[in-house]
Amino acid sequence: MVNLANRDLVTIDDLSNGEIEGLFSLADEMANSMNAQSALCQGKIMASLFFEPSTRTRLSFEAAMHRLGGRVISAVDIGATSLAKGESIADMAKVVGSYADMIVIRHPWEGAARVVADYAGIPVINAGDGSHEHPTQTLCDLYTIRKERQIIKGLRIALWGDLKHGRTVHSLIYALARFGATILFCPGPGLEMPEHVLSRLSTEYRGELKRCRDLNHNVESGYFPIDAIYMTPVSPHQLAMLPDISLGVELKAGVDALYVTRLQKERQAPTVEEKEPIKGYPVVDKKLLKGKEFKKTLVMHPLPRVDELTHEVDADPRSMYFKQAAYGMPVRMALIALLLGAKEVKITKGQDSFVQKVDYPVYKRDSGVKCLNAKCISNQETEVKYIKPEFKIISREPLTLRCVYCDHDLHPKYIASSDWHEGKLESKKYHRADSRWARKIKPENLIIFASEKQAQARQFKPSTYAKNE
Ligand code: CP
């Protein structure tokens, strides 16, 4: 038995595959005795902080806590909290952490849940942070797939719609990669999976990405658009390889689940919102589902839907989206009970994560490098006073940093070593990050600059390796 008490769920990677399977077994138990769990969390209080609209996540979390015998305090409008007066997320987290036993938070800033978890001192669950992640939706999605198909490994799952801004697909893709599914991307125009998500897939999960270039051809021939195919490892440390991807063959092989998402209008640039709706957003309807490749396909959607999934398919036995939403109750009951220590998970031997995540060195120096994502919590006026940018060093060639808050990548151009200057001003030199000399600097001695100006502002001078070699 494994005790998950006092853990956070900020990213889907906070739970191992074995823990997720254990949680699902507990969710099965909860589903079978929904009204007999009211002693589990008696006396406990959950703070439900939803600073973006929600129906499913907020109400299922709150109902789950009530069903477990606990109580709920809530805030659903930033304007009605002291955040509106300029209070920081960290201060809010510390205060709420002294009132409640657990926090569930939805916030538009990417990385907000991570900061709440860092400061609250009680378990924190991310109920969606901007376009970043929505791990409990992923638990509902995986639970649905597992209920219908028993196993996730080897399934072929197509992600459809707004892959750029949809946080549900971002968390889901990491989980599917870990469980060994093959993922097909079917984005709306201009809504492709962001590079930082693809980069995380290929670096942290060691997966291989194959891009299909014949997008227009597919649309004309009646196939839904496919942007890329991500092949997951077939066994630990071994990549699946498909040297010549033929889209026709891929489709004929069938799709086990079609995961549809709506256009995230609220996350489009303001100029886009004012224009006509994006043309060519792919729609799933009866006609599309007549295709042979969808004969046994589970049609999934995290909801809410708008126009991308027609109501005519609701009665189709392949449609899973209302089941997905309903499963939110036992899944979230199980999660709350586990993080409050009211239950433990059984983990079967050999059920550990399919892919071992890579542990990268972390860069924490205050050398002026900042995350480039304007929606990252580390760039917000109320938060910069205490948040120090922090990055995983993903690669030295090319130098790639990944923000620990929002997972966006950046490629700073200049570096120096803390070991060289030894206090002597004349030897404080900076170099191009891709120069031969720079590659010799040990990770623990790295000083990283986004620009020469940044290096010079810290009294570093250009070395002969600061120019192009
Ligand atoms: N799927 C989901 O997160 O729905 P809500 O926005 O209604 O919570």
pLDDT for the residue 276: 59
Contact 6, 128 (CB under 8 A): no
- Angle at CA 424, nearest 5°, toward 421 and 430? 40
- Give the integer Cα–Cα distance in Å for 76 and 348: 39
End-to-end Cα, the chain, rounded Å: 57
Q: How far, in Å, is the centroid of ligand 1 from the Cα of 303?
A: 6
Nearest CA to ligand 1 atom 3: 57
Between strands 257-260 and 156-161, the pairing is parallel
**Each residue's pLDDT tens digit, 367-394:** 999 999 999 999 999 999 999 999 999 9
Q: How far is the CA of 57 from the centre of ligand 1 (A)?
A: 5
Report pLDDT digits (tens) over 251-310. Answer: 667 899 999 999 988 877 665 545 555 677 889 999 999 998 899 999 999 999 999 999
Give the per-residue pLDDT at 142: 98
Pocket test for ligand 1, best of 55, 129, 138, 261 (most atoms within 8 A of CB): 55
How far apart are the CA of 243 and the centre of ligand 1, in A?
A: 38
Check residue 138 and give its pLDDT: 98
pLDDT of residue 172: 96
What pLDDT, on a 0 to 100 scale, did the predictor assign at position 284?
A: 93
Q: Could you read off the pLDDT of 115-166 as tens digits, one per residue?
A: 999 999 999 999 999 999 999 999 999 999 999 999 998 899 999 899 999 9
Distance 168 CA to ligand 1 centre (A): 9
Looking at residue 218, what is its pLDDT?
47
Q: What is the pLDDT of residues 310-331, one digit of tens each?
A: 999 999 999 999 999 999 999 9
Q: Report helix, strand or coil for 97.
A: helix
| Residue 348 pLDDT | 76
The answer on pLDDT for 91 being more than 90 is: yes
The pLDDT of residue 357 is 67
Q: Which atom of ligand 1 is nearest to the CA of 303?
A: 1
Tokens of 350: 């050999």
Distance (Å, whole) CA 253 – CA 223: 13
Say if ligand 1 is within 6 A of residue 76 CB. Answer: no
| Closest residue by Cα to residue 304 from 257, 267, 262 | 262
Cα separation values, 48 from 99, 127, 304, Å: 12, 10, 20
In short, whether 266's Cβ falls inside 6 Å of ligand 1 is no
Lowest mean pLDDT among 44-58, 275-289, 440-454: 275-289
The pLDDT assigned to 22 comes to 95
Pocket flag, ligand 1, residue 380 (CB < 6 Å): no
User: How much is the pLDDT for 200?
Assistant: 87
173, 350 Cβ separation under 8 angstroms: no
Nearest CA to ligand 1 atom 6: 54
Q: Given the CA of residue 302, which atom of ligand 1 is nearest to it?
A: 1
180 C-alpha to center of ligand 1: Å? 26
Per-residue pLDDT band for 61 (boundaries 50, 70, 90) equals: very high
Q: Is the pLDDT of residue 426 over 80?
A: no
Q: What is the pLDDT of residues 69-83, one digit of tens each?
A: 999 999 999 999 999
Does residue 302's CB lie within 6 angstroms of at least one atom of ligand 1?
Answer: yes
CA of 7 to the centre of ligand 1 (A): 23
pLDDT-based confidence at residue 62 (cuts at 50, 70, 90): very high
Rounded distance between C-alpha atoms, residue 40 and residue 67, angstroms: 9
Residue ID of nearest Cα to ligand 1 atom 4: 56
